[in-house]
Amino acid sequence: MSEDDDLLVTVSQEFEFHAAHLLPWHPGKCANLHGHSYRVQVDVEGALDERGIVVDFDELAAMVWGEVIEPLDHTLLNDHLDNPTAERLAIYILRKAEASGINLSAVRVWETAKSLAAVRRRAQE
């Protein structure tokens, strides 16, 4: 038992990638093929190890970029998932990372500077 056991520590990394998509259900211009510069922030929660870190920033960045983000970069997102909204992309990134052994606690995806979707794991009962 340590005096910091009541604290929750989160480490975050940010990424940018560029991709095209279309949203067939959209009543406006977003039904047409167009692109975004996506910004992604991923969180890892956990206890500090003997080095005093949750996870090494560089290690997290390299894993998430290599396993999850780079395969999306300069692609058509509709080839990776149906109906690639920011919400569905955030879930896709969390699940893809999970499948690669990277346990993210939350993912935020900015589709534009003003619009973002976020997903996080529900607290376990």
Ligand X SMILES: Nc1nc2c(c(=O)[nH]1)N=C([C@H](O)[C@H](O)COP(=O)(O)OP(=O)(O)OP(=O)(O)O)CN2
Among left, alpha and beta (phi > 0; psi -120 to 50; other), residue 26 is: beta
**For ligand X, the closer CB: 23 or 97:** 23
Active site residue 111: yes
Binding range to ligand X, per CB under 6 A, among 45-53, 60-68, 73-81, 111-119 = 111-119
What is the spatial distance between Cα 125 and Cα 122, in angstroms, rounded to a whole number? 9
Residues 57-96, interacting with ligand X (CB under 6 A): 85-87
Cross-strand partners of 118: 108
Query: Which residues here bind ligand X, judged by CB under 6 A?
Result: 23, 26, 30, 34, 85-87, 111-112, 115
